[in-house]
């Protein structure tokens, strides 16, 4: 184990479609996290921003943008981008600085202001950009890829659209209890079945929306946490930021084809499974130790795939877990008790940070009506396109 | 009107000069390790265990079983080209396993093939197709078509 860092504060700006600048959301989340930590902004020695590519230049230098908005006070700034995994990379950058002794207190912020509808590639005529090409040549949106995985699960494992809908019903029920969630109403299986097909077999309510929102964390060294009087803080014990291993045998966004395994056999374990495994190895825990998990439910079917990838069950057994209620609040291993992307919608750079905010509140026993009893260990998992893995293990 | 591939060098010429068309996707193969790349990789071999060899153009397998499939019920954003005034016509996407290359390649199905016409494991073949056209240019592409389906 390379060492732990303390989570002194967690904060969010509620998710929604507010139509304001991402800087406003991020600053509000940062102030909430600082207040939660009981720290003055001027005590922060480093700011790490998770970038957004949808909000112009300030979004590419998010660390500096938030530092300026909070009031320049000379802190070190850095800005990271790893698509959906940006937030975890920001946490990892902060952790590295703390463990290297470069800073005692680091603020991590991610925020986005998202357009309505499908995410689109960056503008211009760029035929050497795989993200541009998949839209130009195929019209392959993000939900198209989610749907390919979902159809594959139906064919391989006999899962059904009704199984996928159970994930939405579960996550909507949890999200209804979360004041930061965008969607806070119960959803029935009938509601899912009555929503429009977007990419067969997935319907609108199987697919996460795109949202505005922000999340922030104040991280510190364990020494600082003690000096600050934080008796038993939540600790981040592992951050996995692994990349794939050649050849990647599973088609992934934004690619038009997989790698070829003609010359080299793929590893038996998928890239997604390797993300969690690296986090477990670093933390010295396993899936059997988990109290809860937050996974990236870009679609309902993808949540089932994560159950397998983080080791909650074997391949093809994901639907069984959700049918049994094992992953619901009150179940054996609750997943996405925050409500998940199903209830939040995706605010890309904030999302992996929001996952850790939820672990923090759960591990503190401060999650209110959605509290998992006696939560001690949690994992987050997500994946950013272009080969970014992310998983965080937190304990208390 | 000129016929122009939507991306240069990804597939063979689709014009029939009388003796039939052996239409193929074109990838590259590393002369040192035999890794195949599609879309073509002309600069470097991406196998981490390979010192790097010459990348030679190679036609890909013509047929393979369906890995998965879906459709697009809503108009995708640009740079996908569609007439905003015309009613949206869903298209079908098919991911196909090429067994010799041990890879999966995505493509649109030939127009008229719907998700209800497909199944995982069904054999499909690559055929030339048209992506979109305007007054000057027909942009050509590849399509997947169930084997035995009428052309």
Calculate the average pLDDT of chain B.
94
Helix, strand, coil content of chain A in percent (nearest 5): 40, 20, 40
| Residue B96 clears pLDDT 80, i.e. is over it | yes
pLDDT tier at B13 (50, 70, 90 boundaries)? confident
Could you tell me if A198 lies within 8 Å of chain B, comparing CB atoms?
A: yes
Please give the ipTM for the structure prediction.
0.96
Q: In terms of residue numbers, what domain contains B70?
A: 2-6+61-146
The domain spanning residue B106 has which CATH number?
A: 2.40.50
Handedness of CA A184, A185, A186, A188 (dihedral sign): negative
Look up the pTM and report it: 0.96
Say yes or no: A54 contacts chain B, CB-CB below 8 A. Answer: no
Residues pairing with B40 in the sheet: none
The top-level CATH class assigned to A5-117+212-235 is alpha beta
- Exposure of A125 by Cβ count < 10 A (0-12 exposed, 13-18 middle, 19+ buried)? exposed
Q: Are A238 and B12 spatial neighbours (Cβ–Cβ below 8 Å)?
A: no
Using CB atoms and an 8 Å cut-off, which of residues 123-142 of chain A contact chain B?
Answer: 125, 127, 130, 132-141
Q: Is residue B37 part of a domain?
A: no
**Cα dihedral B70/B71/B76/B78 (nearest 10):** 80
Residues B140 and B35: their CA atoms lie apart, in Å, by 27
The answer to whether residue B65 is domain-embedded is yes
Res. B143 pLDDT band, cuts 50 70 90 = very high
Checking if the pLDDT of B17 tops 90, the result is no
> Residue A1's pLDDT is what?
41
Stretch B111-123: mean pLDDT: 97
In chain A, DSSP finds a helix count (H) and a strand count (E) of 14, 11
Q: What is the pLDDT of residue B64?
A: 98
pLDDT at B149: 73
Cross-chain residue pair A137–B131, CB shorter than 8 Å: yes
Inter-chain CB proximity A141 and B93 less than 8 Å: no
How many CB atoms neighbour CB A135 within 10 A? Answer: 22
β pairing state of A105-112 and A76-80: unpaired
Half-sphere exposure of B79 (CA within 13 A, CB side): 19
In this prediction, residue A231 carries a pLDDT of 85
For residue A321, say if its preceding peptide bond is cis, omega within 30 degrees of 0: no
HSE-up of A25 (CA within 13 Å, CB side)?
Answer: 33
Establish if B22 belongs to a structural domain.
no
B21 band by pLDDT with thresholds 50, 70 and 90? confident
- Rounded-to-integer distance, Cα A83 and Cα A118, Å: 15
Choose from B28, B49, B106, B139 for mutation: most chain A CBs within 10 A: B106
What is the pLDDT, as a whole number, of residue A126?
87
Q: Please tell me if the domain spanning A5-117+212-235 has the same topology as the one spanning A130-206+237-395.
A: yes
**Segment 272-301 of chain A within 8 Å of chain B by CB:** none
In angstroms, the CA A307 to CA B130 distance is 41
Report, as an integer, the average pLDDT of B39-58.
94
Neighbour count for residue A282 (Cβ, 10 Å):
16
Looking at A201-205, A378-382, B11-15, B56-60, which range is the least confident one?
B11-15
**B13: CB partners within 8 A, 6+ apart:** B21
B43: alpha, beta or left? (left if phi > 0; alpha if psi -120 to 50): alpha
CATH of domain A130-206+237-395: 3.40.47.10
* pLDDT single digits (tens) A181-216: 999 999 999 999 999 999 999 999 999 999 999 999
**Would you give the distance in Å from CA A206 to the centre of its chain?**
17
pLDDT at A164: 98
| Average pLDDT of span B40-62 | 95
Total domains in the fold of chain B: 1
Task: Decide if B51 is inside a domain.
Answer: no
Q: Which residues of chain A have pLDDT under 70?
A: 1-2
Question: Is the model's pLDDT at B99 over the cut of 80?
Answer: yes
């Amino acid at each position: 184990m390379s060492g732990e860092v303390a989570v002194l504060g967690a904060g969010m700006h509620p998710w929604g479609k507010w139509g304001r600048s991402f800087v406003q959301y991020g600053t509000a989340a940062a102030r909430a996290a600082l207040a939660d930590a009981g720290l003055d902004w001027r005590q922060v020695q480093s700011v790490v921003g998770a970038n957004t590519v949808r909000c112009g230049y300030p979004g590419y230098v998010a660390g500096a943008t938030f530092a300026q908005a909070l009031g320049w006070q000379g802190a070190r700034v850095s800005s990271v981008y790893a698509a959906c995994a940006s937030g975890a990379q920001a946490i990892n950058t902060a952790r590295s600085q703390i463990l290297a002794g470069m800073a005692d207190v680091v603020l991590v912020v991610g925020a986005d202001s998202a357009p309505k509808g499908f995410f689109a590639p960056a503008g211009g005529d760029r035929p050497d950009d795989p993200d541009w090409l998949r839209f130009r040549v195929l019209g392959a949106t993000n939900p198209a890829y989610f749907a390919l995985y979902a159809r594959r699960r139906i064919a391989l494992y006999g899962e059904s659209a009704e199984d996928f809908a159970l994930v939405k019903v579960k996550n909507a029920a949890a999200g209804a209890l979360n004041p930061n969630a965008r969607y806070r109403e119960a959803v029935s299986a009938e509601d899912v079945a009555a929503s429009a097909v977007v990419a067969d077999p997935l319907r609108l309510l199987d697919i996460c929306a795109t949202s505005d929102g922000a999340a922030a964390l104040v991280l510190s060294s364990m020494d600082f946490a003690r000096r600050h009087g934080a008796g038993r803080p939540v600790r981040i014990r592992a951050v996995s930021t692994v990349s794939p291993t050649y050849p990647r045998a599973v088609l992934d966004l934004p690619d038009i084809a997989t790698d070829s395994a003609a010359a080299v056999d793929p590893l038996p374990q998928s890239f997604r499974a390797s993300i969690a495994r690296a986090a477990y190895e670093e933390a010295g825990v396993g899936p059997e130790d988990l109290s809860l998990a937050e996974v990236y439910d870009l679609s309902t079917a993808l949540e089932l795939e994560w159950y397998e990838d983080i080791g909650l069950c074997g391949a093809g057994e994901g639907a069984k877990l959700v049918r049994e209620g094992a992953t619901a609040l009150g179940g054996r291993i609750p997943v996405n008790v925050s409500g998940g992307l199903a209830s939040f919608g995706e605010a890309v750079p904030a999302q992996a940070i929001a996952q850790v905010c939820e672990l923090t509140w759960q591990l503190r026993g401060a999650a209110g009506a959605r509290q998992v009893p006696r939560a001690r260990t949690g994992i987050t998992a997500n994946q950013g396109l272009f080969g970014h893995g992310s998983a965080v293990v937190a304990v208390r | 009107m000129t016929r122009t591939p939507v991306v240069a060098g990804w597939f063979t010429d689709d014009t029939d000069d009388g003796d039939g068309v052996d239409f193929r996707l074109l990838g590259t193969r590393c002369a040192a390790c035999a890794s195949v790349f599609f879309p073509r990789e002309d600069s470097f071999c991406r196998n981490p265990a390979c010192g790097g060899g010459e990348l030679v153009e190679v036609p890909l397998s013509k047929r393979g079983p369906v890995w998965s499939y879906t459709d697009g019920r809503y108009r995708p954003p640009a740079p996908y080209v569609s007439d905003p005034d015309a009613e949206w016509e869903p298209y079908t996407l098919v991911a196909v396993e090429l067994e010799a290359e041990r890879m999966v390649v995505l493509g649109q199905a030939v127009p008229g093939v719907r998700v209800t016409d497909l199944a995982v494991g069904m054999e499909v073949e690559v055929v030339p197709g048209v992506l979109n056209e305007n007054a000057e240019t027909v942009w050509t592409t590849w399509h997947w078509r169930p084997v035995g389906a009428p052309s």
